[in-house]
Amino acid sequence: MHWQTARRKLSLDRPLVMGILNVTPDSFSDGGKYASSDTALAHAEQMIADGVDIIDVGGESTRPGSSRIDADVEIGRVTPVIEEIVTRSEVPVSVDTTKSSVAAAAINAGAEIINDISGLRWDTGIADVAARTGAGLILMHSRGVFETMHSELPADDILVEVTAGLGRSIGVATEHGVSVEQVAIDVGIGFGKTFEQNLKLLAKLDQIAEEFEAYPLVVGTSRKSFISTILGGAAVDQRVGGSVATALIAVQKGAKIIRVHDVKGTVEVLKVLAALQ
């Protein structure tokens, strides 16, 4: 299997590790830590040294309780960092955004993947940007608007809800001219799901992967609150082991791309898995 981006075809013969680079002051795990260009680029270079396959740059926090920011502010945060990363490295860059203007600016700056947590529900223009540029497009399942996506009443049957939602997002992308080869999907663990539903999605990922076998499956469990619950209330920086464990499970269940904060540990555990296989 391959995944088409704006610049290349990425081989999915092995699972890819997507490193999270939040250039925001308020993200749940590392808010403010990489808000300056210097610290962001230093972190990107460390992820590259640790073996990252994709760097996902985000300029707007989507943690519970966060507020929307203006597109120009978001562009000002992400584009300088993207430009520097692509100048210094061949590692593909993704932009984590729900705004078509930000997506277009990021692609112009050198990004080749768009990661849309709304699955095209908030701005279908993102699909137009992807169709025009050939960018890879990650469609994530979420519910509600920006302000309510973490507080929506849980779906009765999470597998049915996620499957239907991803199907709708893929349909919108196709209608706007995005090719099958460009699309990847994300079940949206942690976004408006209960603790039990997050566990069920992780346990039943193979069913989602089978339902959407033409599309690479992206999973992002890194440091999320359900891991804290399992570990008895572990703080964000104490969830590394749990995060790596869920990454391993996700790959065994069919995930092709793992979105993480802790690149080195994830890369190492996947190397061990590959050796055993």
State phi, psi for 218 to the nearest 5 degrees: -100, 135
pLDDT single digits (tens) 133-145:
999 999 999 987 7
Q: How far is CA 113 from the centre of its chain?
A: 10
First and final C-alpha spacing in the chain: 18
pLDDT per residue, tens digit, the chain (277 aa), is 999 999 999 999 999 999 999 998 744 444 445 556 788 999 999 999 999 999 999 999 877 766 789 999 999 999 999 999 999 999 999 999 999 999 999 999 999 999 999 999 999 999 999 999 999 999 999 987 777 767 777 788 999 999 999 999 999 999 999 999 999 999 999 988 999 999 999 999 999 999 999 999 999 999 999 999 999 999 999 999 999 999 999 999 999 999 999 999 999 999 999 999 8
Domain of 238: which CATH number?
Answer: 3.20.20.20
The pLDDT of residue 155: 86
Catalytic residues: 224, 259
The pLDDT of residue 28: 44
Question: Which range marks the domain in which residue 165 is found?
Answer: 2-276
- Global pTM reads 0.93
3-state secondary structure the chain: CEEECCCCEEECCCCEEEEEEECCCCCCCCCCCCCCHHHHHHHHHHHHHCCCCEEEEECCCCCCCCCCCCHHHHHHHHHHHHHHHHHHCCCCEEEECCCHHHHHHHHHHCCCEEEECCCCCCCCHHHHHHHHHCCEEEEECCCCCCCCCCCCCCCCCHHHHHHHHHHHHHHHHHHCCCCHHHEEEECCCCCCCCHHHHHHHHHCHHHHHHHCCCCCEEECCCCCHHHHHHCCCCCHHHCHHHHHHHHHHHHHCCCCEEEECCHHHHHHHHHHHHHHC
- Say which amino acid occupies 166: L
The pLDDT of residue 153: 77
Residue 106, both tokens:
């990021």
pLDDT single digits (tens) 145-162:
777 767 777 788 999 999
Domain count, the chain: 1
